[in-house]
Chains A and B, each alone.
Chain A
Amino acid sequence: MRFLFWNVKKNPVGPVLSEIVGKHDVEVVILAECKSEGEILVALNATTMNPFHLTDSQGTRVAIYTRFPSEYIETVHSDKFYTLRRVFLPETRQILLAAMHLESKLYRSDVHRWGKARDVSATIRQVERELGIFSTVLVGDLNMNPFDMGVIQADGLHGVMTRAIARKRDRPIGDDVFPYFYNPMWGRFGDTTKGPPGTYYVTTSSRDEYFWHTLDQVLIRPDLIDSFDEAKLEVLTNCGGIEFLRESGIPDDSRASDHLPLLFDLKI
């Protein structure tokens, strides 16, 4: 099953999305900052006989479109910033999909945002225990880099940089045990890694500026690592003749978005 996540910056990206989902055979589209869910639905379904369904957003700020009917995706928890869905297609392994658009550094302090990551993590762990499903994939615009405290902390998302560490499943700290996520986005920084240097570019007058950030991430629980095809993880920079980067090499928010789309695949 192929997934696409994209923060589209409220831009009318319908035709571009239609190209991407057609070319890459995407089955689940997850969007942040989607201004018109109807226009996007029309564009996604413009030329296909296997149309997407818009799923119930339940007040969250991500929109999820699926090729399969809504009866196979159930909301188990939602708030404004994230949603947890149980995906249970016939004859496939059921998974928990955590889709999110967490708050920006522009409006919230680090402490506030790390606290939210801990809340998200605690809810995911609780839902996993309640449903007995530990095949969880977390995706979204986290507004944090893979090395930021909210993503790496044990009681945060606990995203680690290698499969080998994640395969140990969890880590005890004091009386608590915290399960790992494998975070493959650690491998998507700078010029020497596959694809663009990050998913988002910003320049400020601050002394500590990374310029490129990998805010858009997919994290995989140990139970799903063998279903996750690393080679099919892509940060897209173009599709169908449309470039998502300017000539200078930074995201072109006039043509596409200030974030780059993230494509990944799970064999379930």
Chain B
Amino acid sequence: MSDKGSSEVSSNEVIKSNIRLRANDLWPEFAPAEGDLPPITILKEQASVLGLKLKNLIEAEVETGTTDYQRFLRHTLVLIAPVLNFYRYKLLEVEHSAIELYPATIKASSGDPANPISSTEADNQDEFKAALKDIFASAETKRVIENLLAQSLGAKASV
């Protein structure tokens, strides 16, 4: 009984303290920036589309981190083959300033030993989507996904 009473008192004190804080609010109101879709939103949407398209035999995931003393955000689009013991393959990386959505730099494996990494810069969401479409349709991406698919269908689970 006494525990419940003290927890109610403490909860009331927190609420009162928060009301006092809001009364001294110097900040304006905020809303998410409008305009171009952020790269992370587009990447996550494409990750979901890939799963639907390939019946989740191959799934994709977006990992986000920071780089260069937090100046840039780095999003990595990773392919996952659940049936192949959740094998993960890094398909591409996108970097952009942490406080700007674009320009965004997209780096992907080209499949060309002489020039293994291709790099493209996108100034807006349309250019970003066009660059992604090119990478998704590339011979290297198709080769990787089709090989993972073939192995996923052939893999036997250990029972």
Interface residues of chain A, those whose CB is within 8 Å of chain B, are: 10, 33-39, 41-42, 45-46, 49, 51-57, 59, 61, 63, 70
Q: Which residues of A contact B157 (CB under 8 A)?
A: 34-37, 57, 63
4 tightest Cβ-Cβ pairs between the two chains A and B: A45-B55, A54-B82, A38-B83, A37-B157
Q: Least Cβ distance of A201 to chain B in Å?
A: 21
Q: Which chain A residue has the least Cβ–Cβ distance from B149?
A: A38
Interface status of B56 (Cβ within 8 A of chain A): yes
Name the distance in Å between B78's Cβ and chain A's nearest Cβ.
13
Q: Are B155's CB and A51's CB within 8 A?
A: no
Assembled-state Cα–Cα distance A39/B56 (Å): 12
Using CB atoms, name the residue of chain B closest to A56.
Answer: B86
B83–A37 CB distance below 8 A: yes
Interface of A, helix, strand, loop or mixed by DSSP: loop
For B56, B86, B155, the residue with the greatest tally of chain A CB atoms inside 10 Å of its CB is B56
Q: Are B155 and A54 touching (Cβ within 8 A)?
A: no
User: Is B55 a contact partner of A42 (Cβ separation < 8 A)?
Assistant: yes
Confirm or deny: B156 has a beta carbon within 8 angstroms of a beta carbon on chain A.
yes
Report the minimal beta-carbon distance from B47 to chain A, rounded to whole angstroms.
10
A38-B153, A39-B153 known; A53 and B82 CB under 8 Å? yes
Question: Quick one: which of B52, B154, B158 contacts A38, CB cutoff 8 A?
Answer: B154
Taking the closest CB of chain B, its distance from the CB of A60, in whole angstroms, is 10
Look across to chain B and name the residue whose beta carbon is closest to the beta carbon of A63.
Answer: B157
Q: A37-B83, A49-B52, A53-B82 known; A42 and B57 CB under 8 Å? A: yes
B152 at interface, CB cutoff 8 A = yes
A267 to B57: give the CA distance in the assembly, Å: 29
CA distance A205 to B44 in the complex (A): 60
- Those of B70-118 within 8 Å (CB) of chain A: 82-83, 86
